[in-house]
Structure 1
């Protein structure tokens, strides 16, 4: 079911005064809403179709459900709000309601069966028990269709025996149907029919076929079109009545309707875009023939008979009538004679930074006089000779408002690129150096003239023997010049005298001074600022470039740890310390009593451990109930409580499981006395 209506919305807007010479007219955004806007059942979903005109395309859409599409489908009942904005920032809000289902219920059919001797005297009456039209003001009458051709009446008289269907529709085309049978007296004539409507392209291809039984054969037939045959073939749309009489004079009368499914044709009007590249073209179509209402589907996605805001191109429309007959047509919109702007000359700039580039243009296809605008602000010049290198946009506009733009890039002769490079031969012991500077040149046109600030030689390479700024200018054969400079440093210090030292310590807090295998050792350096790169060598094949590295020795032995530093000139100095690494032996000392009385002495039960990689301690009462567990060798130990409560003085059991550094797993158990 589809409900169509049109909602027009207008809004006020202001145009700045300085824009009045560019905007001659502006129509407000207008919205035509169609689609399925009332639901007949809870299983149905609605849809909303928007046809937008006015404003300045393109448009953007923002629904209250955060969707951004123009049209919506698969919608539940409710209120939907959409904010429509055009390219000028003008907006319009449209509120659309999809109504929920409302029951349409019929009362039981009142009927009277037919009798043979008295002709067509069957009777039926229908009525609405509850429906939407009864509760909404200004609602039109219900639409009623009887299967034998009657329309918009509640009662039917003179019914022949047979099965009838009545379809009742409310104002939103939500419908309900009821079927009933008018029976004949015993031995009455019974008729069933098969109806074939004409196809869309063949209006005289309808057919009514009857299947007659009951009564007493033979039967005679009298059709409203004069035919005397049982069946009708090759008939056009319309209503047909038949009178069937048996040999005893009992008769049966029925009416049948052949629906018109005539072909659909298209009438159209088109308006081409006014300018090359503009989007103000229009196409409007109307349907001829067929059976209304009609639906429209354009290749642009729009669904109204008229579409606007079109640029040149090909568009197609498909029109469908209520019978399912369709027709399609394609339209081509072409631009008028195009306004063109031709580049006759593009002369590059002679030297980088100069303003002697040139552009020469030719305009054609203009209607009347024209205006020319350059992106750098110059007006109405077809030829320029004062341009710097860069990209220029030139726009021509004729009397009809059509415009065309072109971009021209003015290049410059290959720019001279020069770079000073240097090298130093440094004696680390004395700090003395010999410097060589040379200049690399690209671009421009040879030969080059080179001037140095520290030499009179016209040469690409010179020597220097002091720190400072080297400058050089390069001029090519075209007279284009570029300058470059480089800062050079000389050693003013002796790296061998720079401060470089280091100490080391164990990260773990232990009472043993020895460095043991698999212990983390932190090396802390003291490095002078002139040292910029350093490297550690730990004597066991491992190296590090960290300033203060952490290292673990994996085996026993005496190792020379060397820290080497380098200054900016590659000169080095170093410091060496020797470290003795010993093998650890595990140690675990377990006390046999403790007194958790809060005096700060012997308040926790915890063994002293060393050289252990994993650890777990569990405390039990004499009945085997676990009171405490810890897996951290750094834990303070058991404080003589269980679940926050003090346990009584007495004897308790411990079980300690640990792993030595060489991977052996050990378990110690025993008793401990808690003293209160």
Structure 2
């Protein structure tokens, strides 16, 4: 529905819009309204452009966008906008006119102007409505209309889009409305929308129904019930059921659909429909496998239950309570099935057969040690009805006895003229392959330096007892040997299967008995003092014969080392026995032991009180004599406190009586020395005077 308004109001709105446009930030653009929101321009017969996007603004906070789809001409295309942009598509646009020049690869140019419409009000008139007569009635009415909108001012505009919350589309009025809240949304040609909500009230309270339904428990019963409870409206209430009764409750109902109309004294009514559902009839279907042969317990009955209400209870005449019976012989079987509602169904089954065919394996022989297919089997067959047929799993047919079998598992299917089929499976074994291996060991007497060999044979497979034949004419599992050479043994098992094994053995000509192992030790720090002091690094140097493969040092203080030439520090004074033990390939040992005396460090600090740096080699520098000191600092000052010399090196030669390369005059000077004792780590400081003599 399009709504028209008077010319005076229209003129007033247009003037108001022109005033708003003149104040807009992008007033330099002209607002030319196109005939259509999406039109195709054909300036050239071979090039055109389709324009889409958001070409109208619904509010001042929105931005528009333009999407171009160029066709014809020869790609690629270039773009030049009146705002100096060069992209194909534009976004984040204010209202206004945007012109683009599109140039193809041949230099042909297409000009297109696109308008982004400014916001335009979309206002609705107040809703015209009529309330529903009852809360449960559907006779309410509502009508909406547009007060002002864009579609009414632009020529050839389509109708407004109207959407009701109850599903109605593109209508301005609605009837048959139930009490409740409704919302109607109206959209203009540019998809700008506005909504209005309203409520349809009821002149009186509506009727509501609640029900209690009881369904029949079994398909054939008429035990259904419906009980109604009415609220709302104004009582008393009248009831009218589709099949005649006028009461609020029904009993003894069969399965079916029952409809009722309830009316109060004011004439308000409500209708409802109820379904009484009975379970589908309880029925049994079965899958039966007859016993294959007389006496065979391989028959099977499997039940499938239809209808009723699970779970189901099964009661067989055999006492079983399972839905499937297996391992059955011929005979009559019956079952009673009861569902969760107590409904029952019963059925009987007859299993039969006509053959007493029976098969058994009378004897079988494994494959011999040769590994050839010489295994055999003998079947025993009895009770056949007519002729028998035998089919072997290796493809052979016939024959109750087979003598050409390789090791493996076989199946024979035996059937008679009645169709009875009996299957028997068996395995033809192969005796484990006879294997033998010679293993050896050497017995070494380290004290005597003698070596003797022992050899024994390990046997696998075959069948015991075994016969053992060594090349040395021995017949026991284990033998001794004293010379290098080749050993060979032959094994024969209880079935006569044979195997041989051989190996080369070597008797060493000597052991490390008497092998040389020696060691010495020395200080790592060069010193004129031969004594070993506590916390000094001691290097142990060994001489070890090549036949000795590994060694161990024991330093007598609870520590050890596996290095060939270890460095060790003794932490306490005392006498220590240091032992070097070597091991050869046979486990024999060679031992060397030395005793080391470790003394406590001797500490001494002697400071001379004069020196004469005259180059005669005697007392030419000033340097304290230190012993048992781990670090020190020497400083020399003149009598005014100026520092002339400093050193922290224990290897320093001392002060030579110069300062900055110049000789200082003879006289008195001051020194200060700070040193740390090696034994205790305590630092001391001493100072005093020194006389320089020239």
Give the TM-score normalised by structure 2. 0.41
Specify the structure having the higher radius of gyration (Cα). 2
